[in-house]
Amino acid sequence: MSYAVKTFDTLKPAVKAYKFAKGRGLCAILVICLLGGCAAPQIPLNTLRYEQKTSVTSTKNASVVVVTGEVMGDPASLYVPAGNIFVPMYSEPYLGAMFNSDDQQAFGEALRSELVRLGVLKTASADTSATTDLKIQVTFVRTHHRPGMQVYTLDVDVNLTGGREPSQHQYHIISNEKDTLWEKMNTELPEAKVKAVYLLMEKLIPDIEQYVASM
């Protein structure tokens, strides 16, 4: 018997398992599980709170707008047992798993809410046409999602105007940059998005405080 025939016979259980899953819509379920969304509930990003102390308060009004850039993600994969072998299963990048425009706008909502709650600003709106003391533009230049350990990478530019001089800041966020190895291996998709938001807030809000204090 040729090697090719032996290989085909070896893969028969895999082909059978794949056809079984496909015929019953299980591939879609596998895709969801690959992306880590079937085990943990979604966490509304616009309700997150900044957990650090702030030292600046003001009566300034600001527009805080979010601009979406490039949204990217890698394919997901896992190995499914089929008989005596494991079959690789793949899914294309899924927009809902990426740090997409909806997530970015939710971050904008949370940022506006927190700047007011903390007293750094008196009011904060998304209206770019309103007359305000300062303008804050948050541009998500590029966001990337890597399944498996569920890692988000955010490249963000922030422009602050309205003070004596404009100020520009760039941030490179990796959602698991503060995690232990155990935490990296046990983070699910919704939690990873939350970590990315917290890390961006931790870097951005102190810079906004400093700018407001200089006005």
Using H for helix, E for strand and C for coil, what is the string for 112-155? HHHHHHCCCCCEEECCCCCCCCEEEEEEEEEEEEECCCCEEEEE
Checking if the pLDDT of 40 tops 90, the result is no
The span from the first CA to the last CA of the chain, in angstroms, equals 82
**171 close to 204: Cβ distance less than 8 angstroms:** yes
Which segment of 25-29, 50-54, 64-68, 152-156 scores lowest on mean pLDDT? 25-29
Q: Domain residues of the chain, as ranges?
A: 43-74+94-213
- The answer to whether domain 43-74+94-213 has CATH 3.40.50.10610 is yes
Instruction: Identify which of 82, 103, 73 has the alpha carbon closest to the alpha carbon of residue 30.
Output: 82
Instruction: For residue 134, give Cα distances in angstroms to 114, 128, 178.
Output: 16, 11, 32
Helix/strand/coil for 35: coil
Residues of the chain above pLDDT 90, percent = 54
Please give the DSSP secondary-structure letter assigned to residue 97.
Answer: G
User: b vs e for 103-130, b when ≥16 Cβ sit within 10 Å of the residue's Cβ?
Assistant: bbbbbbbbbbbbbbebebbeebbeeeee
- Per-residue model confidence as pLDDT tens digits over 146-203: 988 899 999 999 999 998 899 999 999 999 999 899 988 888 888 999 999 999 999 9
Q: What is the per-residue pLDDT for 15?
A: 40
| Confidence class for position 8, pLDDT limits 50, 70, 90 | very low
Q: Are 12 and 84 in contact (CB under 8 A)?
A: no
